[in-house]
Amino acid sequence: MPIARLARMARPTALLAAGSLLMTGCGDSGPAASQAAVSLDNCGREVRVQAPPERAVSLNQGTTEIMLSLGLADRMAGTATWTDPVMKGLEKANAKVERIADNNPSFERVLDVEPDFVAASFVSTLGKGGVATREQFEKLGVPTYVSPSDCVGKDNSGDGDGVRDQPVTADDVYGEVRDLAAVFGVKERGERLVAALKRRMAKATAGVDASDVSLLFWFANSESPYMAGCCGAPGVITRALGAKNVFDDTHDEWPQINWETVADRDPDVLVIGDLTRRSQTAESAERKIAFLESDPVTRNMTAVRHHRYVLLSGQAMNPTIRTIEGVERVAAGLREFGLVK
């Protein structure tokens, strides 16, 4: 790809380093500190943890990065299912934790590391067709937790990525941080992490009015592309900036939409998932952009002609602490493109 075109992609350099969020034990009692049993209402079931976990397993990158940001690497027995490199600033902590699989591990592989707590970002990970059901773990005395952002106000019973009847919010992400901090007995670290995320959100959105800007979020696949509907993490980003998602008329989380329909909506800016996994066509941003600029249906779109691309990690396009990173990067891109009032 020509260097001049790469230069037009939004690559803000002034973002707050995510590593500053790492809460390495200050202000809370040690990991073995006594605490009363914790009981949470999580996705319609009670989760009861008798003592802070010492061998937790996180089955998705989103829950992994929360745990690492809370300074819990020494209390994790394994991680799995990665779409991106670990968040900046968490590399050393992450290196201490065994990656038991790049994608979904088997139930047996998880049990091999003798977990005392299992967390996942998606209902599908701890459901039929996933790693195992929550019931399977709980029959063995292993408490489980699923990110509330994937179940509250969302129907996951269909074949796709779910349908939302209410939008996910940044508060849902903050609530997950607080839940996990409570489970591990590090509530103060959780509050500091939430405060840091809120400060970043406020700084990124200060003075931004993108009410005349239309965005399209493309996660993966060039043959049957997954585009963001109204109400998942991309909705958090668009609402924070006052922008419009060209597919905000669908409540599907990630509907597959043909390119003719995409071109007809003709967004001002393309927000592109820059993924490192290899399970779909056109995972990396480079491959996505090469497709957009060569395909006869897409190459004349406004965003493509003006090379208005903002690159996001896959995690920033899911409801995670990196959704805040998504707000920062899209805001910086709109400023760079001269689209912010």
CATH of the domain at 174: 3.40.50.1980
Residue keyed to tokens 């939008």: 167
Question: Does residue 178 lie within any of the structural domains?
Answer: yes
Is residue 164 domain-shared with residue 183, that is, in the same domain? yes
Cα angle 283-289-290, degrees, rounded to a multiple of 5: 95
From 177, 201, 225, the end of a domain falls on 201
Single out the residue in 182, 201, 220 at which a domain terminates: 201
For residue 159 the two structure tokens come to: 């074949």
- Angstrom distances, CA of residue 141 to CA of 47, 115, 116, 118, 134: 11, 10, 8, 11, 11
User: Could you tell me if residue 237 is inside a domain?
Assistant: yes
Whether residue 28 is found in the same domain as residue 51: yes
Write out the residue range of the structural domain in which residue 81 sits.
21-201
Query: What are the φ and ψ backbone dihedral angles of 45, each rounded to 5 degrees?
Result: -140, 155
Average pLDDT in the 274-293 region? 88
In this structure, are 225 and 193 located in the same domain? no
5 pLDDT higher than 60: no
| Mean model confidence pLDDT for the chain | 90
A 10 A CB-CB count for 131 gives: 25
Residue 28: what pLDDT?
67
Shared domain check, 161 and 230: no
Is residue 191 situated within a structural domain?
yes
In a domain, 58, yes or no: yes
For the stretch 225-247, pLDDT in tens is: 999 999 999 999 999 999 999 99
| Structural domain contains residue 183 | yes
Based on the fold, state whether residues 158 and 219 are members of the same structural domain.
no
The CA–CA distances, whole Å, from 150 to 67, 82, 108, 120, 167 equal 18, 17, 25, 10, 11
Check whether residue 71 and residue 194 sit in a common domain. Answer: yes
**Cα–Cα dist 206/90, whole Å:** 27
> What backbone torsions phi and psi does residue 248 show, to the nearest 5 degrees?
-75, 5
The reply to whether 215 and 311 lie within a common domain is: yes
Which pLDDT score, from 0 to 100, does residue 151 have? 92
Contacts of 228 (CB under 8 A, 6+ apart): 216, 217, 219, 234, 235, 245, 247, 253, 254, 317
The pLDDT, as a whole number, for residue 243 is 97
What's at 67, amino acid-wise?
Answer: M
How far apart are the C-alpha atoms of 242 and 221, rounded to whole Å? 27
Band the pLDDT of 318: cuts 50, 70, 90. Answer: very high
Is residue 341 assigned to a domain?
no
Looking at the structure, do residues 144 and 126 belong to the same domain, yes or no? yes
Of 167, 201, 235, which one is at a domain's C-terminal end? 201
Q: Are residues 170 and 260 in the same domain?
A: no
Examine residue 16 and state whether it is found in any structural domain, yes or no.
no
Do 180 and 223 lie in one domain? The reply is no
- Is the CB of residue 317 less than 8 Å from the CB of residue 4? no
Q: Is residue 91 part of a domain?
A: yes
| Per-residue pLDDT at 27 exceeds 90 | no
Shared-domain flag, residues 171 and 212: no
Q: Quick one: 98 and 173 in the same domain? A: yes
Q: Average pLDDT for residues 259-280, to the nearest whole number?
A: 92
Number of domains in the chain: 2
Predicted confidence (pLDDT) per residue in 104-149, tens digit: 999 999 999 999 999 999 999 999 999 999 999 999 999 999 999 9
